[in-house]
Structure 1
Amino acid sequence: MNFLLLIGFLVLISTWWVDGGMGAFTDLMVDLTLVKSAISKGAVCLDGTPPGYHIQRGHGSGANNWLVDLEGGGWCNDKWSCMYRTTTALGSSKHMDKIFFPAILSNRSEENPDFYNWNRVRVRYCDGASFAGEGYYKESGLYFRGRRIWSAVMEELMGLGMSSAQQALLSGCSAGGVASVLHCDNFKALFRPQTKVKCLVDAGLFLDYVDVSGQRGLRSLFDGVVTFQGVAQNLPERCTSRMNASLCFFPENLLNGIKTPMFLLNTAYDTWQIENSLAPVSAVKDGPWKFCRLNYTKCDSSQIEFLQGFRKRMTTVAESFYQSKATNGLFINSCFTHGQSVLPGTWHGKNYPSITNKGIAQSVGDWYFNRSKVKLIDCPYPCDTTCHNYVS
């Protein structure tokens, strides 16, 4: 598989054209902190460099509350794809720098009304296996230490005051969303019983779905990640005891066993999954899906019908998840995009995506603070006129 596809949908840090351009966000730049003590623990990026995170401290009513966001950015499943990542910030802290804190990480109350004054942390993603790998590839000097990175960063944050948190939220987008699923109960276990702890999964509901050629490309990718990076030992035994470990990397097979309250934020027409799983280049070539996979307006009626089948499967999984625990929450809209908590134009603001006039930030806040139960599933495309659709 082309290694560029493995990178997936990167968190769009550099695309702040929304609401006035990059100049409007200069106060959201946050410095990188390296966890240098992690090296002695073997908690390192793919190339052996220390992991890192970015933090803005809370104040006022949020001074003792913590939001920890796990960065996304695809996966690597073999020597070449993992070696490529070592030349980027997705595999080496040598390439990391300060970043923007927008949307759910913003320090602006008008953009992030419920979490703006919390301690907000972005944990950088440099292991390529959703913070879950364990191993070493001697031939190329690749370190698969995602689980150790998770532990080392959490230990440092606990020492910075997170151990006494009154409220905490673990979030993640895309591959970071998968990590949020995998580590949700681990995160809860860090805190005192009286601490309110919940988890948010954005664009992390990757489905084991048959593609347009009848193959299961995402299953093959995940099998490579789990096998090559030694992920199986860090997957829940309640899942691996009854099915192949690779299938236990799919959130759909883990959700109903998670004890900590969780919120699923996803689009029913996830563009990363359409482009890389449902209609990957390997299955499409120059066939009828060549243009549809990149631009939903180019899809014919039969292709839309196929995508509606994918939506039905996603909403079925989401319904089961919601029904499994009264404290869970749900926002599944009908937009063609991927990742909605990390962009200011979709998280909160003017003309943001909504379901029954309720936007994403409000929905997450209502769920977290128990202001109301949130179970929102959009009607099928093309009914939603509030979407911020993505076209490649």
Structure 2
Amino acid sequence: MANLRLIELIWRSKWGRRDYTIAAIGFTMISFALIVSFDSSSSSRIKESESNSLIRINDDDDDLVDLTLLKNAQQKGAVCLDGSSPGYHFQRGFDSGSHNWLLHIEGGGWCNTIESCSARKLTALGSSNYMDRQVRFTGILSRKASENPDFFNWNKVKIRYCDGASLAGNPANELKVASTDSPKLFFRGQLIWEAIMDEFVALGLANAKQALLSGCSAGGLATLIHCDSFKEILPKESKVKCLSDAGFFLDEKDISGNNTMRSFYRDVVYLQVSFRLSSLMVLSKVCARIVSLGWNRLRQCVFPHEIIKNIKTPVFFVNSAYDFWQIQNVLAPHVSDYHNIWHKCRLNLKDCDSNQTQILHGKVSYSFESQGFNYKKHVPAKSPVKNIDRFAFCDFCHKTLAEAVADWYFDRRIVKEIDCAYPCNPTCHNMDFS
């Protein structure tokens, strides 16, 4: 059986010096998403024609899926940052998978200031005007049984991400922009989520027997935020789970002792998220509880380790302990590297000296342990999360990651695997930006 791997191309930007802005221009993160690498087989796939009839075509043709703009988006107010209609790519399931659904939320960072959101709306991460009209479904979205044996014939959706706040933005916060001289911005992530779910409920999601909501990076965070609400729209007898890929962002001080990520998340929440609204479900509960401890704690609302304390639906976390984006932007950001001694280490993990490697390992292991996962012992640590057995964690260096995800979803075995410290596993691959 061929090796299964998770790879997805995500766009991210660098932190700004003052407000640590992650803009939507030039995002350069490659995190691992479920992709399998083999020769293509001669199996068939299905494409929906303009007349809505199903036509079998050969696998040799490019497996491209058209962009569909959300119906009645303008009337519902469910629009991207620039006011354009959001979009998705949909491929119908067939045979035994016709009543099963897999939805994947695109990633791409966030915007935390009016300036960064204004820049973002001039890209595909803030406007459907710039989105590719077709995308190729690969990995966990692939229709090839040889590549994706467990989900190949399911109904599959890729939700495009264009609100800049992990589908949690709310129009009540647009007044903050209206009081400035800046062009109009629409914070409608929550409405986008609700409208897209309504559309797929009408297309058959309401009758799903099995469903998996997944997302990568900022999409992984969106998956956590909306996991329980996703389950609630499905039949009670449906098997529903959620997969967060590279979405477990660490609440950890950087090399200079700054809470870089906390400051950034605080700005995202303040600018776009109206946590008092009950429609935000889990996020609303998290933020309300945290703010009750003091407004200065608001920045912790959207950290995954806080969100999962309130999630009832089973979740699988796929995360690299040495995620290069988190090294570059959370643990050792350029803005905190005053003497530029971390430059080479940020560009290639192999170029970190022994002291830097030790520092990173210490921060990573402490963060995962303190936030609910034991990095050293291959078993979940004591955690504030209730019903920890509902959650699983796996480092994406693991050789059998895709099988692990499927084993977890279909309850074939208990999957709570955490890889050893870098560089002990030769199957791990680090990105080289030098």
- TM-score bracket, normalised by the shorter chain, equals 0.7 to 0.9
1:242 is matched with: 290
The counterpart of 1:293, out of the listed 322, 346, 360, is: 346
Alignment partner of 1:366 is 2:412:
no
2:158 is matched with: 122
The counterpart of 1:131, out of the listed 167, 173, 178, is: 167
Q: Secondary structure at the match of 1:87?
A: coil
C-alpha distance in structure 2 between counterparts of 1:29 and 1:322, whole Å = 40
Q: Which amino acid aligns with 2:426?
A: T
Alignment partner of 1:388 is 2:424:
no
Asked if the contact 1:63/1:118 (under 8 Å) is kept, the reply is yes
2:226 is matched with: 183
The range that moved more, 380-389 or 305-314, is 305-314
2:114 is matched with: 79
Shift of 1:315: 3.4
- Equivalent pairs counted in the alignment come to 366
C-alpha distance in structure 2 between counterparts of 1:26 and 1:379, whole Å = 41
Q: Which amino acid aligns with 2:97?
A: G
Provide, for residues 193-247 of structure 1, a one-character-per-residue CA deviation record: whole Å limited to 9, x for no partner. Answer: 1011000000000011100111011111111111111343332324532343320
Asked if the contact 1:322/1:330 (under 8 Å) is kept, the reply is no
C-alpha distance in structure 1 between counterparts of 2:273 and 2:385, whole Å = 31
**Paired residues for 1:1-392 under 5 Å:** 1-2=15-16, 5-7=22-24, 8-9=27-28, 27-97=62-132, 98-135=134-171, 136=174, 137-138=177-178, 139-233=182-276, 234=280, 235-243=283-291, 244-316=297-369, 317-318=372-373, 319=380, 320=383, 324-333=387-396, 335=397, 353-354=398-399, 359-392=400-433
C-alpha change, 1:325 and 1:272, in structure 2 (3 Å) is same
Q: Secondary structure at the match of 2:148?
A: coil
5+ residue gaps in structure 1? 336-352
C-alpha distance in structure 2 between counterparts of 1:366 and 1:107, whole Å = 19
Shift of 1:12: 7.8
Asked if the contact 1:366/1:374 (under 8 Å) is kept, the reply is yes
Q: Secondary structure at the match of 2:199?
A: helix
Q: Which amino acid aligns with 1:293?
A: R
C-alpha distance in structure 2 between counterparts of 1:228 and 1:360, whole Å = 36
Q: Which amino acid aligns with 1:131?
A: L
Shift of 1:314: 4.2
Higher percent of residues as helix: 1
C-alpha distance in structure 1 between counterparts of 2:343 and 2:286, whole Å = 40
Q: Which amino acid aligns with 1:251?
A: P
Asked if the contact 2:221/2:304 (under 8 Å) is kept, the reply is yes
Asked if the contact 1:169/1:200 (under 8 Å) is kept, the reply is yes
C-alpha distance in structure 2 between counterparts of 1:252 and 1:31, whole Å = 36
Provide, for residues 297-345 of structure 1, a one-character-per-residue CA deviation record: whole Å limited to 9, x for no partner. Answer: 1111111011111221343123338873323222125x5xxxxxxxxxx
Shift of 1:379: 1.0
C-alpha distance in structure 2 between counterparts of 1:379 and 1:119, whole Å = 36
Q: Secondary structure at the match of 1:241?
A: helix
Q: Choose 1 or 2 for highest CA Rg.
A: 2
The range that moved more, 78-87 or 141-150, is 78-87
C-alpha distance in structure 2 between counterparts of 1:360 and 1:25, whole Å = 27
C-alpha change, 1:17 and 1:81, in structure 2 (3 Å) is farther
Shift of 1:269: 0.7
Q: Which amino acid aligns with 2:98?
A: A
Structure 1 stretches of 4+ moved >4 Å: 8-13, 16-21
Asked if the contact 1:268/1:314 (under 8 Å) is kept, the reply is no
C-alpha change, 1:175 and 1:207, in structure 2 (3 Å) is same
- RMSD (CA atoms): 2.3
C-alpha distance in structure 1 between counterparts of 2:205 and 2:31, whole Å = 27
Asked if the contact 1:67/1:120 (under 8 Å) is kept, the reply is yes
C-alpha distance in structure 1 between counterparts of 2:317 and 2:384, whole Å = 9
